[in-house]
Homo-oligomer: A and B are copies of this chain.
């Protein structure tokens, strides 16, 4: 199998609309940003809101401290080990904190799974939306 000639699939670029549709099916994605020791990638709950990604964290977390303003990316994927196929989307853009005034209604805010106070809302506004689907061979 190491020659890679078995089970080979086809990679297909996704449109921006397809990327957002696929992302909307997920409740967990991964925020990526530059930390002092290189890229950091942290899974977290999110919601899509008007084409932006809303996340919630603690203002005192590493995430809250480093991400208040700046460049970041949000990634999500779905991978099927059995058919060796899947998709992946990547939203690159800038992050800014949300003030209480700019928060959407309660039922449009992200619900987080871990316990603890996470009242700090951040918004990633994507500038570049890319994605690929790997079709089964």
A38, B85: Cβ atoms closer than 8 Å: no
Given A2-B107, A115-B8, A81–B39 Cβ distance below 8 Å? no
Interface string of A16-51 (1 = CB under 8 A from B): 000000000001101011100111111100000000
* A64 close to chain B: CB less than 8 A: no
Stoichiometry (number of copies)? 2
Chain A interface size range? 35 or more
Interface pair B10/A114, CB less than 8 Å apart: yes
Minimum CB distance partner of A71 in chain B: B38
Asked whether B92 lies within 8 Å of A39 as measured between CB atoms, the reply is yes
A-B contact pairs, 21 of them (CB 8 A): A1-B111, A2-B111, A4-B56, A4-B118, A8-B116, A9-B114, A10-B114, A28-B86, A30-B30, A30-B75, A34-B34, A38-B71, A38-B72, A39-B71, A39-B72, A39-B92, A41-B41, A42-B88, A42-B90, A43-B88, A84-B113
- List A residues at the B interface (Cβ < 8 Å): 1-2, 4, 7-11, 27-28, 30, 32-34, 37-43, 56, 71-73, 75, 77, 79, 81, 84-86, 88, 90, 92-93, 106-107, 109, 111-116, 118, 127-128, 134, 137
